[in-house]
């Protein structure tokens, strides 16, 4: 079956620190991969996506590379800001069932000034 | 204009009551979903409709009944509410059978059962 596993949080960093949030997946086919962000009190917003192996998704200084050999899609940012404090969700959609999205458990990021 | 809108944003009700949450999308998408987010932020799909047809129905108590009057609307009705139903419920939509597209989420409805 399909599943997504993320590192547990919370992750606490100082402003301008380097961020990595690990995400690995299990899928029967060739999924598309996504990172969503949820700011306090809000819904989920798409942060970035990658649709095939070796693709790199990027947005707002965040990056993630679709690694088929390690079934990973780790989220990185070189210098975090206080405004990046949120919950980050890794997700996949399955090519055989692309009406269904599978989400990881979310990783809360706290960035301190 | 809000792409996916759900109402109400907050809902506080007593155990045993029946309540509905409404969702509308103006993106022209074919597929709509309901997700439940528990207190630990875990997101679990409940239902999905494609062009008004139910296509995903996860293991959800039959007190929960989705209704899709047209492809732009997917409402969630909950009978005999229980304390464990307290959560944030998210509506979402996607183009459906188009590969590599993301889901768009509403702002959520925080349901508190007392």
Among A19, A5, A6, which Cα is nearest to A83's?
Answer: A19
Is B2 exposed, middle or buried, given 0-12, 13-18 or 19+ CB atoms closer than 10 A?
exposed
The answer to whether the CB atoms of A99 and B97 lie below 8 A apart is yes
Mean pLDDT computed over every residue of chain A: 92
| Residue A95: predicted pLDDT | 67
Distance CA A51, CA B71 (A): 26
Going by pLDDT thresholds of 50, 70 and 90, the confidence category of residue A85 is very high
Is the pLDDT at B46 greater than 60, yes or no?
yes
Inform me whether the pLDDT recorded for A98 exceeds 80.
no
Amino acid B83: pLDDT? 96
The confidence score (pLDDT) of residue B98 equals 65
Q: In this model, does residue B80 exceed pLDDT 80? A: yes
Q: What pLDDT score was predicted for residue B109?
A: 96
Nearest to A43 among B31, B48, B90 (CB): B90
pLDDT digits (tens, 9 = 90+) for A5-57: 998 889 999 999 999 999 999 988 788 999 999 998 888 999 999 999 999 99
Chain B closest CA to A25's CA: distance in Å? 16
With CB atoms and an 8 Å threshold, state whether A99 touches B100.
no
Which of the residues B102, B106, B110 would you substitute to probe the A interface, choosing the one with the greatest number of A C-beta atoms within 10 Å?
Answer: B102
Identify the band that residue B108 occupies on the pLDDT scale cut at 50, 70 and 90.
very high
Beta-bridge mates of residue A73: none
Residue B102 Rama label (left phi>0; alpha psi -120 to 50; beta): beta
Instruction: Report the pLDDT value the prediction gives residue A20, as an integer from 0 to 100.
Output: 97
Is residue B59 within 8 angstroms of chain A, CB to CB?
Answer: no
**Of B47, B8, B31, which is closest to residue B93 (Cα–Cα)?**
B31
The pLDDT assigned to B1 comes to: 64
Average the pLDDT over A63-75 and give the result. 97
CB contact under 8 A, A45 and B105: yes
Res B99: pLDDT: 64
């Amino acid at each position: 079956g399909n599943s997504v596993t993320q590192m547990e949080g919370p992750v606490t960093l100082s402003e301008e620190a380097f961020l990595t949030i690990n995400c690995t997946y299990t899928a029967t086919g060739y999924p598309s991969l996504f990172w969503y962000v949820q700011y306090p009190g809000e819904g989920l917003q798409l942060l970035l996506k990658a649709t095939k192996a070796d693709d790199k998704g990027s947005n707002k200084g965040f990056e993630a590379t679709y690694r088929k050999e390690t079934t990973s899609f780790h989220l990185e940012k070189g210098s975090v800001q206080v405004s990046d404090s949120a919950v980050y969700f890794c997700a996949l959609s399955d090519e055989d069932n692309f009406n269904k999205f599978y989400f990881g458990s979310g990783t809360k990021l706290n960035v301190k000034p | 204009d809000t792409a996916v809108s759900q109402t109400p944003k907050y809902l506080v009700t007593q155990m045993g009551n029946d309540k509905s949450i409404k969702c509308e999308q103006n993106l022209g998408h074919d597929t709509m979903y309901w997700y439940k987010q528990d207190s630990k932020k875990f997101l679990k799909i409940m239902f999905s409709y494609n062009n008004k047809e139910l296509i995903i129905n996860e293991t959800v108590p039959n007190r929960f009944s989705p209704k899709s009057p047209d492809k732009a609307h997917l409402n969630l009705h909950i009978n005999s509410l229980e304390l464990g139903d307290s959560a944030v419920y998210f509506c979402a939509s996607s183009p459906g059978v188009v590969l590599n597209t993301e889901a768009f989420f509403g702002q959520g409805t925080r349901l508190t059962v007392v």
